[in-house]
Amino acid sequence: MARKTNPAAPSVYRRQLSSRFKELRAEAGLTLTQVSAVVEVSQGSLSRIENGDRGTTPLLAKALLDCYGITDPATREDLLDLVRADAAQRQPWWKKYSAVINTTKYGGYLTLEASAASIRTYELSLIPGLLQTEDHARQVITSMRFDLRPDQIEALVKVRMGRRKLLEGDEALKLWAVIDEAAFHRIDDSATLRGQLEHLLDMMARPNITVQLLPFSAGFHPGLDGPFVIMDFPEPNPGVVWMENGPNSVYFEGADELYRYIDVFDHLRARALNPPETHARLTKLLKENRT
């Protein structure tokens, strides 16, 4: 099981880099100690690069390629492209909010989400962040992060609203959300609930978004353990399961854990109302809150 608590989760490009550097060193028949002596970089730093815990520079990447005897121009350029792409992704659109994001250990999730091709998410008590309205996001963040100043809360609201751009455009993120009915009953402000329901119904009309409501009538189910997010990435990158755990969020990238949560998600969506039934239930709830 590959379980990591480091909030600075590697980008999809860095994960490819770590795999390629391991393969190239193995093919060259070299140990980290031998490579360290040649490129004059500590063995610990090289190990972190191979584990995806840190990025590298084009200069060091070229030195490693020379050490491994890689002379093919196309192979070298492909790997250097990954190095540049990883560096670019370390300068994301939310960088200007880095002070508050670092405080909340949120950056690792954003890095993975930004490079995902599809996301399957289950929420027990909340509307998924990608589907929240601004008013509801502010309500949630204010209530959950009472330790933050008003300006920090507003910064997180702006980040959450900025994330919604991932659901737009020709290469929009595919999102499948199963939401427990409890999430809607936690919204105690009628105006906020109406706005959130209207927004959800609009989003459900998009071809890349599927929403299912898990009703109270489903009884006990495996999702009671807590919410989780399954992220899938372009090949050859393996999927990741992300779980919030207070200040120490964790993600799993081992196949066993990934398949386990895929099974749980499939079980939950089978117990949930199908999309047309969900649309009807949310429409009914909206009408009830307009009266």
What is residue 5's predicted lDDT score, i.e. its pLDDT? 46
d(CA 156, CA 137): 9
What is residue 145's predicted lDDT score, i.e. its pLDDT? 87
Question: Pick the residue with more confidence: 150 or 17?
Answer: 150
Residues spanned by the domain of 277: 113-128+167-288
Q: Residue 208 falls within a domain, yes or no? A: yes
d(CA 241, CA 264): 12
pLDDT value at 242 more than 80: yes
pLDDT value at 31 more than 50: yes
CA neighbor of 237 nearest in space, from 6, 38, 17: 17
Alpha helices in the chain (DSSP H): 12-28, 32-39, 43-50, 58-67, 73-89, 98-104, 107-115, 134-144, 150-163, 182-185, 190-203, 255-271, 275-288
pLDDT value at 56 more than 50: yes
Mean pLDDT, residues 179-186:
95
With cut-offs at 50, 70 and 90, classify the pLDDT of residue 284: very high
Q: Residue 147 falls within a domain, yes or no? A: no
The conformation of residue 186, written as its DSSP 8-state character, comes to T
What is residue 8's predicted lDDT score, i.e. its pLDDT? 45
Based on the fold, state whether residues 249 and 119 are members of the same structural domain.
yes
Average per-residue pLDDT for the chain: 87
pLDDT value at 13 more than 70: yes
d(CA 149, CA 210): 35
Based on the fold, state whether residues 123 and 225 are members of the same structural domain.
yes
What is residue 157's predicted lDDT score, i.e. its pLDDT? 95
What is residue 105's predicted lDDT score, i.e. its pLDDT? 57
Q: How many domains does the chain have?
A: 2
Q: Give the model confidence (pLDDT) of 110-162 as tens digits.
A: 888 888 899 999 999 999 999 999 999 999 999 998 888 999 999 999 999 99
Q: Residue 195 falls within a domain, yes or no? A: yes
**Integer CA distances (angstroms), 199 to 83, 101, 195, in order:** 39, 26, 6
For the chain, the first-to-last Cα distance in angstroms comes to: 51
- In angstroms, what is the C-alpha Rg of the chain? 22
Based on the fold, state whether residues 122 and 246 are members of the same structural domain.
yes
pLDDT value at 40 more than 60: yes
